[in-house]
Structure formats: C-alpha cells, structure tokens
Structure 1
C-alpha cells in the first residue's frame, strides 16, 4: 500500500485567465509571480492558494494551513500564550515581535496543537513564514519540543509543517540551541514508537532544515519549495563551482533521495490521511 501511495501521479487542469485592463480595488486581483497571469484573490483562496494556471504554490498562513487540513471543530491549540523575550537586549526586537503579532494574529512563528484529519487524531505544528520569516527562536523551539512530548505522552502521531528562514539572529546561540532541543525530543518520540511526518514548504532553510525538518519517518515537500542549509551563493563561492539551476528545490532533493515525495497541495490531505490510517493499530485494512 505504501508503494501505491508514493507512486501516485496526477495531472491538474489549468484554468486560463485573461489579463483584466479594468480598474479594480487594490488587493482584489493578483498577478502570479511565475506565469504572470492575473486572477481574482478569491479564486486563489478557493484553490488553496495554488495558482490555477501554473500550479505555483503561494505561502499559507498557519491558520490557512490548519483550516485546509484539520476537520472543523476539532482543533485544540497548545501553548498559545508563550511569547518571546529579549535575552540579548537586541535593539527594537520586542517592537518587531509586537508588530508581527498584530499583523498575523499569532504570538509566535509556530502554532501547535491537535485535531483530526478525516477523523484520524494527530498532533501537529505549523510554522508561519509571515511571522519573523518563520525564524526559530527559543519559543519556537520550546513549543515544538513541548508538542512532540505531548504527542509521545498521548501516543499520537505528529505532523510538522516547516517554513523558516533559519535560526533567529536576535537570540544568538539560544536560537541555535533549539536545534538540539527539538532533535532530542524527536529521538525520545521515535524510541517510543511515535510516527513523525514532516512537510517542508517554501522556504525551509538554515537550522530548521538541519534539525527537526529532516528527521521525519516520512519527509514530504510541496512543489518548488526551497529547502537547504546555507545559501546558494555561499556554497558556490566555497566550492567554486556553478550549481544546477534546480539546486535546493524540492524536486532536486527528491531526485537525490532526500525526500520521500513531492506532494501537490490538493493531494496533501488525502496522502496524510492514508499515512495516518496505515499507522493506526490494524491500519491500512480499509
């Protein structure tokens, strides 16, 4: 059954759109950064923020991700009150955090909790690149580690959606310590027999890609997602070689065995349901 799940291929019909010359209210229409087609924002939202013409995957907020996957009325958020301090007294750091809270409606760059996906209960974490570019500070690491511990105690699978620019520079070495903290929590989780599914979205870079994002039993990614540790320019300058055009994309990592599957957003809920079902006691029998 697993072989069938990971070998599925689907084609997606495209919806042609003519560029409108009529004046419209600001924000009502969008131009795709890939194919340059213009369409209504509502059309994009209904299509799970995937371009209906070229399949470009826009970034989703944590709320949008949760609404698209978690069954209505089953979401239970964990540790929503945890907020970052300014241990290094970095100039204007607290002001920037407050602005991001107002802009996004969340207190930090990750939302954790539990809910059901097509009736199957799971714990999860959803990173949000709209908050400090999804950077991992002390609170992000703490929330993820706590969520994994709760999943272990409650014997639940854990799904983590990653979207991050890496460790948060304003917290220095304290942010780097979160790589170890989350990795240790995952090791305990694995030893207890827990199921960890990671879904890497655009972008997943730096310390996040080098820690919990790469430690799943299943490592998935959305099409076109940027995934890597150091930046492309730094690597090219270090090795003094030109890298392939698709280097550090989800498709490149899949080709080189670092991912299990690149999953279109329209197929993600179905695939997660299948994986959760297989790992239920007596699962995969339906």
Structure 2
C-alpha cells in the first residue's frame, strides 16, 4: 500500500479498494431540515438554536406555529381537552377535486381542518381556546372552521368561561363559496351572545390574518392582541390602492401600524403571551366578582 497512491482520497495511505474512503471531489452532504431561513432578517438559522416558541435568535422574528404547537406553548401541560376533533369538510358546492385538496391538506398538517378548539388552562386559569393553523390551506375559513369556532364560543357561554382565539388566515375558502362567507355572520352572532353575558373574548392575531377572518371574529375581541410584525388586513395593498386610487402608507397592514392607529390594543411577544393572557383572565374575574358583590 503506497502512501500517496491516490491524491483524491481523504485518508492517505489507502487505495481505492479500501472500504469507507470518501472522494475529495464529492459534495458535502447536509441533512435536510437542519436549517431554516428567517422571513424577516433573511438569515439561515440552525434549527437547534430555536426552542418550541420558534423565535429567530438573530432578529426576534416570530416563525409560524402549527395549532398543536401553539396549544403546547399556551396551555398548561395536560390540561387541553379538544372539541369536535373528527369534524371534517364536505363538498357543498361540488367544487372539482375539492376532496383531493382536503386530503392533501390533512396529510400536510396532520389535522382534519383549519382550526383546533377545546378547553384548557393557562397558568391555572380556565378558558375555551380556538387556534387556527396556516398549514391547512393557509388557515382558510370554510364551513368546518366556522362551525368549530361557533361551537367553542357557545360552549364558553354555557360554562361562563373566557374565549381566546388565535387567528391566522388567508381569508374565506373559495371552494365553499357563499357558505364560507356565511361563517362571518355565524361566528359574530355567537360572540355577541357571549358578550351579552358579560364574558371575556380575547382575539390574538398572528401572521397573517386577512380576508373574512380579519373582517369578523378577529376584529371583535374585547381585547385585541397581535404578535410582532403580524400582517393584518382584509385585502392586499395593491387591490386596495387600485380600488381607492390612492397610495397607502408603507407597512399600513403591520401590527405596529395597527397599534399606532388604534385597531389593536397591544403587541405581545410570544415569550410573554401566556402570562399576559392569564393576567387578563384574572383581571376580568376580579372585575366580574366586584360587580356581583
């Protein structure tokens, strides 16, 4: 065996016949899924640098969470009880291949439709929670999303519990046509009954919340919270500018702009969200107890 028989082998002194020897000309192999790109600072982030909150360690940008990830970081461990778990969408408008679209979305997201609802505890405080999921058809609102949100609100009213809804949505689900738009009125009516009982509703807007969701239950909270830099709006900037024939301010659909102009009450970082929500519930309970004395 010659010491420099082949220059292109990493381990000197081995011939091409030796096993386990790598060629210098081979490209290094990087396992998939180890790195993600931050959509805010555009830098590559090693996944292990982020914890379960999914916050960019370089710029503080908030990555999107799935519904189950959101529940895990919001509710006390083991306290969440899911409602209507097996409710699934039909094809009310006979939209071509809609069933295949739904099956693909279920396979990608691991859930039946675009929202998970249930009851849980947040730092010991009981609440009914609904969490939309961008992994399921971009959190679009169809008949199942509207029905599950409505049922969650109605259960909260019956049990006299606060409601917390985390929104993320691209708008109404086009495959269900007018039926998807009807969910705006249905969820809003349920929230009105909840409000008439003097109960608390906290809307937490995450990135992005647009279309029919932003125009209905996302905007109806007694308290409206947003995550940093969340996109909030009904339609896109170009559509609005084309409709009103005016140039709009830069960033007018950001959470920060919306806070400055009074549309939302507070921007809360994900690291503080659980404590803020539980404190708001406690304050409302104290207020309600005061009224009943």
TM-score calculated relative to the size of structure 2: 0.87
| Cα-Cα RMSD | 1.7
Residue in structure 2 matched with residue 13 of structure 1 by the alignment? none
Alignment of 1:234-273 (within 5 A): 234-273=239-278
Cα distance in 2 for partners of 1:220, 1:119 equals 21
Residue number among 89, 95, 103 corresponding to 1:98 in the alignment: 103
Residue in structure 2 matched with residue 6 of structure 1 by the alignment? none
Flag structure 1 segments of 5+ consecutive residues without an equivalent.
1-21
Residue in structure 1 matched with residue 113 of structure 2 by the alignment? 108
Name the larger-Rg structure.
Answer: 2
Contact kept? 1:278, 1:284, Cα under 8 Å = no
Higher relative contact order (CA 8 A, sep 6+): 1
The question of 1:34 aligning with 2:40 is answered yes
1:263, CA displacement in angstroms? Answer: 0.8
The question of 1:133 aligning with 2:138 is answered yes
Residue in structure 1 matched with residue 285 of structure 2 by the alignment? 280
Contact kept? 2:167, 2:205, Cα under 8 Å = yes
Q: How many residue pairs align between the two structures?
A: 264
Alignment of 1:82-231 (within 5 A): 82-231=87-236
Cα distance in 2 for partners of 1:120, 1:29 equals 37
Following TM superposition, the consecutive aligned residue runs of length 4 or more in structure 1 with deviations greater than 3 angstroms are: 281-285
Residue number among 61, 64, 67 corresponding to 2:66 in the alignment: 61
Cα distance in 2 for partners of 1:78, 1:167 equals 22
Cα distance in 2 for partners of 1:120, 1:283 equals 15
Contact kept? 2:38, 2:63, Cα under 8 Å = no
Cα distance in 1 for partners of 2:265, 2:105 equals 34
Cα distance in 1 for partners of 2:195, 2:49 equals 41
1:79, CA displacement in angstroms? Answer: 0.4
Larger mean CA deviation between 265-274 and 31-40 belongs to 31-40
TM-score calculated relative to the size of structure 1: 0.89
Contact kept? 1:201, 1:221, Cα under 8 Å = yes
